[in-house]
């Protein structure tokens, strides 16, 4: 009985050690918002009737993302010029923005589609000189 209990405790601790934690949040700045044509299935609509969707530029330390809200019917406007926390999960971006009073991030994650990604052009790593790996080169 006691050995079964110890085995259960050891297995539980091992499972807890290997459990996947959610990825940590990255921080970025919402640089701008553009209104772009939404992807719609019916291409027969006249151009004047096509709905517009919000597309944001989110700039992190190393990458610039162009994102769109996953929920096109009820999108929430992101505050341009403010910072946001995000994490990438499979084929979507989960984004948190500060509360309206700007004090803290709310726990509400909103889903966004990543339209494009590009390395930051002003990154200092692009101007770095090659480093010699050892004295034999």
Across 99-117, average pLDDT: 77
- pLDDT higher than threshold 60 for residue 126: no
Q: Where in the sequence is the domain holding 75, given as residue range(s)?
A: 27-121
pLDDT at 43 over 80: no
pLDDT at 1 over 80: no
- Contacts of residues 123-128 at CB distance under 8 Å and 24 or more positions apart, as own/partner, are 123/62
* Average pLDDT of the segment spanning 41-53: 64
Is the model's pTM score more than 0.85?
no
Rounded Cα distance, 103 and 116, in Å: 30
Distance of CA 96 to the CA centre of its chain: 9
| Number of structural domains found in the chain | 1
Asked if 95 and 112 touch (Cβ cutoff 8 Å), the reply is yes
Mean pLDDT of 81-90: 91
CA distance 56 to 108: 18
With bands split at pLDDT 50, 70 and 90, how would you rate the model's confidence at 72?
confident
Quote the DSSP letter at residue 120. -
46 against 39, higher pLDDT = 39
Q: Is residue 15 part of a domain?
A: no
């Amino acid at each position: 009985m006691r050995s079964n209990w110890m085995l259960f405790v050891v297995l539980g601790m091992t499972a807890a050690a290997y459990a996947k934690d959610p990825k940590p949040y990255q921080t970025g700045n919402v640089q701008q918002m553009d209104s772009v044509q939404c992807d719609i299935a019916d291409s027969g609509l006249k151009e004047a009737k096509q709905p517009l969707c919000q597309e944001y530029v989110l700039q992190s330390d190393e990458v610039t993302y162009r994102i769109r809200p996953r929920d096109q019917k009820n999108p929430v406007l992101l505050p341009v010029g403010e910072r946001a926390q995000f994490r990438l999960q499979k084929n979507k971006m989960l984004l948190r923005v500060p509360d309206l009073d700007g004090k803290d991030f709310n726990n509400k994650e909103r889903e966004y589609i990543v339209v494009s990604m590009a390395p930051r052009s002003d990154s200092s790593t692009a101007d770095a000189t090659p480093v010699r790996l050892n004295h034999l080169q």
